Amino acid sequence: MTNVPVFILSRDRMSVQHVIEWFEKAEGVERIAILDHATTYEPLLAYYESIQGTHQIYESQVDDPYTQFVAACRRLVNGMGRFMIVDCDMLFTGCPTNLIPYCMEALDRYDDVLKCGPGLWVTDLPPTLPCLKQVLATELQWWVKPISLDPTWFEANLDTTCALHDADRAMRKVGRFMRSDSPYMIRHLTWYLNPANVPEDELYYYRHAKRKGWHAHVLEPQDVSEEWEVPFWMGRDALPRYAHLIETAGKIYRRDWNHNAVRNAQWTQPTT
């Protein structure tokens, strides 16, 4: 199997160290490169100095990290082959280290898939998370459409969180994205921060970042006082660990959740 380069998008967050160390032990990694977006946090700059001889560090001043960084990655692989893009605030603890080969096999199997990656855990989010309802309402929509031939994969939107890209397919205007089910899943570290005890690097990031994703606003209080009642329903074929969350999110946000489609979908029993 061909190894692939891993590009980590980073700015002012020390969590990039965890991501680097995880991929240093992972299978299928050709090299690790950091695409830094104007970091000024001194401890992170010092860490960069310590790994200069081991990993490449590219600096960028772009204002639109997603489109510019993805384009930069394609250029770095000469527009050919595959590469993985990862955000620096991902927690890989518990994810199998053969994640890249697993994603490679999925891209080999589905030639209409442009990129695929691990799913995001949402079942253990802390109730103190200020944007809990927004996270659930956004993320749960990606667990209702399993791939027909392999229900361990789901059609889902993917940005830079963590995904294996195929540069040869990147120019297509039509194609699918996929996220994996357990155990190939990771956590969005920001969602697990304690708003009353935010680490120094996160405080620095928030104070200096020009753009902040809605999901990352742990410092901005929101209304979480509403009683969080979880209806007990689990359709016979529904995936147990998501069924009640989908129902709850649908009621709270009045989103157009297709509950019949959820109940009738062919789900697999989770392994964890």
Instruction: Convert the pLDDT of each residue in 244-268 to its tens digit.
Output: 454 444 443 333 333 333 333 332 3
pLDDT band at residue 116, thresholds of 50, 70 and 90?
Answer: very high
pLDDT at 232: 28
Model pTM score: 0.78
Smallest CA-to-CA distance from 48 within 93, 88, 5, 86 is with 88
pLDDT digits (tens, 9 = 90+) for 176-206: 899 999 899 999 998 888 877 889 998 898 8
Of the spans 94-98, 177-181, 241-245, 267-271, which averages the highest pLDDT?
A: 94-98
Could you give the CA distance from residue 57 to residue 79 in angstroms, rounded to a whole number? Answer: 20
Instruction: Please answer whether residues 186 and 163 qualify as being in contact, where contact means their C-beta atoms are separated by less than 8 angstroms.
Output: no
Least confident of 19-23, 50-54, 63-67, 214-218: 214-218
Task: Please list, in sequence order, all residues whose beta carbon lies within 8 angstroms of the beta carbon of residue 84, skipping any fewer than 6 positions away.
Answer: 4, 5, 6, 7, 100, 103, 117, 162, 163, 164, 165
CA distance between the termini of the chain: 28
- Model confidence pLDDT, tens digit, residues 125-164: 887 777 777 777 678 778 778 887 777 898 888 877 899 9
